[in-house]
Amino acid sequence: DHTPEVRKRHRELSTESGPSSANGAMVFLRRVYNYARKRRLDPKLPHFNPVDSIDFNPQQRRDTAMGAAELAGWYRRLMKLPNPVRVEFHLFCLLSGSRPGALTVARWEHLDMKRRVLHVPKPKGGERRAFDIPLSRAMIACLARVRRAGRMVNAVNAAEWIFPGEGARSHKPGFEGHIVAYQEDREALPKFGGDLRQTYKTLSPEAGLSKTDVMILMNHADGDVSDGYMTRSKVAEAYLRGQQETM
Are the beta carbons of 111 and 143 closer than 8 angstroms?
Answer: yes
What is the model's pLDDT at position 167?
Answer: 54
Q: How many CA atoms lie within 13 A of 89 on its CB side?
A: 34
Helices 19-38 and 3-16, axial angle in degrees (round to 10): 150
Q: What is the pLDDT of residues 114-151, one digit of tens each?
A: 999 999 998 877 788 889 999 999 999 999 999 999 99
pLDDT for position 241: 93
Least confident of 65-74, 156-165, 172-181: 172-181
For the whole model, what pTM was predicted? 0.73
Whole-angstrom distance, CA of residue 194 vs CA of residue 94: 9
For 100, other C-beta atoms within 10 Å of its C-beta total: 20
Identify any residues that bridge with 134 across adjacent strands, giving them in sequence order: 117
As a whole number of angstroms, the distance between CA 228 and CA 211 comes to: 14
Range among 21-25, 46-50, 105-109 with highest mean pLDDT value: 105-109
Top-confidence residue, 245 or 230 = 245
**pLDDT: is 227 or 239 the higher one?**
239
High-pLDDT (> 90) share of the chain, %: 66
Q: Is the pLDDT of residue 231 over 90?
A: no
**Cα 241 from Cα 116, distance rounded (Å):** 8
The confidence score (pLDDT) of residue 221 equals: 67
**pLDDT, tens digit, 9 for 90 and up, residues 26-82:** 999 999 999 998 888 888 888 889 999 999 988 666 678 999 999 999 999 999 999
- Which amino acid, 47? H
CB neighbourhood size of 87 (10 A): 20
Q: Using one digit for the tens of pLDDT, what is the confidence trace for 82-106?
A: 999 999 999 999 999 999 999 999 9
CB 195 within 8 A of CB 66: yes
Confidence of residue 229 (pLDDT cuts 50, 70, 90): very low
Grade residue 169 by pLDDT with cuts at 50, 70 and 90.
very low
The proportion of the chain whose per-residue pLDDT surpasses 70, expressed as a percent, equals: 88
